[in-house]
Each structure stands twice: as structure tokens, then as C-alpha cells.
Amino acid sequence: MSQIAFEILDEAGRHVGSATLVLTVYQLSLDVDADRDGFIDKENPSKSRWEWGAGGTGAILLVNNDNDDVTTDKNPDNRNCAVDGEMDLKDMSPMAVRMRGPTDLPKEYIIWLHTSSENAQRIGIFHLRDGAILFTSSAGSSGSNIHHVIGPAAGNMAELDWKVNPTDNTMTYNFAVEALHYPDVDFDGAVSIHLSLRKGAGKPIFEETVVFRVAPWVMTPTTLPPQEVYVSGVVEPEENSQFIRDIRQLTTRAGVKLTIAAPAQNGGSDRWMQNELEVGYSEAPGRAPMPVAFSSPRYGGLQPFPRTKLLGPDFGHFSHYQLGEDPTSLDSFGNLEVSPPVKVNGVDYPLGRILVGSSLARGNPGRRMMDTLLNFLRAQRVQPPVLLYSDWLEVGHVDEFVTFVPATNGKGFRMLLSSPDACYRLLERLRDGGYGEAALFQGVGFSLKEGAAVTVNNLLEDSSLKKQNALYQIYINENREILKKELGMTEEDIIDLPQLYREVTEPSADTPGRAAAAFPNLVNMLVLGEFLGIPKPFGPIINGTCALEQHVTSLLEPLGLSCEFLDDWYSYHVFLGEVHCGTQTRRQPSAFKWWEMTL
């Protein structure tokens, strides 16, 4: 309380009276980690705005979609409107209301913490009473010292009592804030929270605002260090035990953990781990990045795997599609890749750019990724998608013609593209060297009864196959130009891998003919740092060595890479997929912080 004394004088300067103005000062502040150092600020003047960039300001929320109460609840924490112990609190962002002043607030004055009704569906705010940081729960409820005050089940407003310690006339309300949803087409990720002092139902006498932004879901390119590989062990229609043994040997060499989805976890036959999920991450200041598995809407036998085996403490999971939507093959996540960091016409993309296959890249009617997924990816903002033309392929995935590998020079990576022209040039060199009758695909076939063996001359003389691949090369060249333009690539950044495709569906009045790899697709590889798990192509054996393997090795080993060729013919190739299609890799998150991007 402060007093100001006034002396009243007449025109002659004589004292005619006095007055005293008594000022009662109430201090209120709403504080967050606006400077992004992992700790709550005190009266940061920039807390009411959110700015991108290394010098930017504004607090950050994680989508709390891990599961810190695995003993009683198999769902992500953002579904339960509760705090599941101390680990769950660490997934939330701190917020504080600070009070200072007399012990009582005048009658009719009310303090409100509030947000919009829309934002109340996107966040959860929990009041942490004394001892809440030490709170643990085995029952999955928040307990008496944590109170859910704002969120879908609590509404968008919470009244706060004016309570100050009579010793120092201060009080701090501590809160934990979680995000429930990622940015999307109707949500830009920004959330404003307000603290207001009102008299009755009147307008605010005082109001402070803080702004959070929800951390996006971020993908990791194949050039980042691997941490864990997932593969599915199946028993029908063709078991893959030898393939899994080969993958185990490769991951052991690379020093990477291997997790196998048993038949009971994949319906016995769903081998397409890459198509089922993509493991990315989300990150906020003051804590380690959290891996997050994104499930595709393909409804396969592996659908329960990420929720039942990956979801847990500090491992998130979510899916994103509308009920009733009918997914196509292009909605599976072999059709979802991301480039390494690139710079394009002076614009940095430090987290790379997402690559999605579609018919839209050519402006053609046909299959494309559903709008629900593509709009979600665009809404994350930090890895703007590039559309490529993939509808010419039966499966229709970008990983059937492009990938990236680390390199010890240049940009630090190379882009690998499938190339029918490169394959025909290699076959012609073999023929001209006297190996025209050397056989390819020995000992394998497109079924156990149908052998696939042909000679170099057979392939070169097959005019129908040549005509088909001339068209497929046109499609790949179109994608090459898109990638060069959108990723700032040059020809020196690109390596062509020999590959032929074959028509597997004939054109009709309604649909074009579509293709698949004619032999195991070399570009559809598993990249584990310097170790590459490449589909074994079963090329012609020249002087005891597969000519295709030797050629690929000569292209990649000078980059500091080690090539391991894995036999996936019967376990994946005959089902129109390869090594990459059958695996998923959790990778080390980027060292670059997404909030430091300039947007």
C-alpha cells in the first residue's frame, strides 16, 4: 500500500486543506519459457508474441502422445486429461501466475485464466499444487495435488483465488501445459492463453497474454545416424526368416538395435513395415527430442504394432485420417520420404523437404495421397513437401525410384535415382565385352514354379521391354528435374543406379498401365550410416562376380559406403517390394532446432 499526500493552497499560496490518496497495488503476471532456455522467465516483455528464428521468442508445447502409465493405460497421454506421474510432467511446458499485494482482493473482482473455446480442445492445463513435482501415480489419475483446469473436459476458463503469503505478500500458481494435437489445416499451431482481472462480468481491468506454438512432427532423412531398425517376421505366404537373419547381421555390423514384430503382432503376413509407419520426432526446449511413430491409414496386419510395442514412456504415437476415407497405396509411408538439409535459391531448408508421390505432379487424374495426410504434412511447416510423379508405378511409392545416402564430400550426401538408361548402357557394355549370353536371375523366378532367368542378349533384344522402359525413363527424368529445382541439386549430386521396370498392369479405359521393378530394386535400400543393405539384383555373373553388384559398388564405395546385398527376391520382390519397404528406421534427430528456422 502506498500513500500520496496533497496540500491544497489558495491563490495567495495559503494552506486551505490537505488530502491523502491511498494506492493499493496488486501485481499480476503470467509467465512462460518465452526465451526457450527450458526455464520460466520472469516478466519477459516478448512473451505475448511468437517469432521464428535463432533470435526468436515464444514458448513451445509438445504434443503429449507418449504413454507414461503403461501399466494401466495403453493409450497416449494426450487422451486421458490427467497427469501420469513425474515423467508425464516432463512432457509438458511450465507456466506460472505470480501475485503480489495485500492479502485480500476487493469484492466483485475476479482473476481468470482463459483461452478460446477452440484452443481449449487443443491443449490441457494442469494446476500443480504443493508437492506436485514429486507426484507419482500408479492409477493413472492426477491426484489431489494436480487439478485439470483447462482442456476438452474442463472448459476454457478457470477462476484463480487471490492467495498471497502474509509474510511476503506473494503467491505463485504453477501450471503444466500439454498440447493435444499437432498443427493441421485448420490450426496453425499457435495457442494464446490469457490472465485477466475483471470486476464482475465487465471488461478486463488488466490482462496479460502468452503465446505457445505446438512443436511439429519432424521426419528424419536417411542420412542421419540410425538408432533402431524395425522389421516384421512373417510366416505366410512366404516366410522371411533368412531375410531377418541378413538384416540382423547388417544391423550388428552397423551397431544398430533391431526390433522384430513377431507374427502375432503383424497378423502373420504383413511384412510391409515401412508402409505401416514412419518414425519421426517432436522437440521442445529443455528436454530431449521424443521419437514419435506416425501410423499410416493402410489398415494392415501391422496396425497394432506401433501402439502396442513402440508407444511408451518418451516414445509417442499418433495416426491422422478421417473415418470413412478410402486410402490408396499412395497413402502408405513408402510414399513418404524426406531429403537431407538443402539450400534452394538462397532459402535454407535445414530439416530437408518431404517427398510425396502423386499423380498431381503431372496434373493427371489418378491416385494421390489423401488431402487429410498431405495437408497435415504441409501444416508442420518446417519440411515443405515436394510432389513427385509416382502414379506410373503399380505400388506408386517414391522409394521405388529415389533415395539418399551420406557421402564424405560435396554436400555431404548423394541422391540416388533409378535409371533404365543406365541399366541398358551397362548391358550393352557387357554384350560388347563378349558376355551377351551371360544369364541374369539364375535360380529365381516370379513364382516357385516360374523361372525368371534370361540372358543379357534377351533383355537387349526385348523391344517391348525397351519401349516400356523408355517411357519410364521419361517419368524418372521429369522427377529428376523437379528434384533438382526443388532441392537445389546439380548433376554432380546425383548417382544413377541401373534399374529396369516391367509393366504389371495393362492400361484400360479408366487406368493407365503401371510398372514394377523387373529385378530387385537397387534404390530401395536400407541406409544405416556407412552400411547399405541393398536388394540383391541377381545380375549376370562375370568372372565370379555379379556385374550389377560390382557396378553399384563401384559407384557407392568411393563415397565411404559399404555395400551389403540382401536376397529379398521371394520374401519381398515377388510381392512388389524390397528391403526398404520391409523395414523402418528410427534415427538420431537433427541437431538443428526447428524453432530456429526463418519462416
Q: What is the set of active-site residues?
A: 581
* DSSP code string of 553-595: HHHHGGGT-EEEEE--TTTTGGGT--TTTTEEEEEPPPSS-GG
Residue 486: helix, strand or coil by DSSP?
helix
Instruction: Label each residue of 116-166 as H, E or C.
Output: CCCHHHCEEEEEECCCHHHCCCCCCCCCCCEEEEEECCCECEEEECCCCCC
Hey, what amino acid is at 305?
Answer: F
What residues form DSSP beta bridges with 386?
355
Inter-residue contact 358 to 391 (CB < 8 Å)? yes
Phi, psi of 270 (to 5 degrees): -85, 105
CB–CB of 93/177 below 8 Å?
yes
- Pull the grid cell for residue 43: 516478466
Question: How far, rounded to the nearest angstrom, does the alpha carbon of residue 157 sit from its chain's CA centroid?
Answer: 32
Q: Are 111 and 105 in contact (CB under 8 A)?
A: yes
Three-class SS state of 319: strand
Least Cα distance to 372 among 215, 221, 182, 190 occurs for: 182
Which of helix, strand or coil describes residue 458? Answer: helix
Listed residue (483, 523, 527, 306) closest to 397, CA to CA = 523
DSSP 315: B
Q: Which H helix or E strand runs over 478?
A: helix 463-487
**Cβ pair 566, 247 in contact under 8 A:** yes
In a 13 Å sphere around the CA of 90, the CA atoms on its Cβ side amount to 15
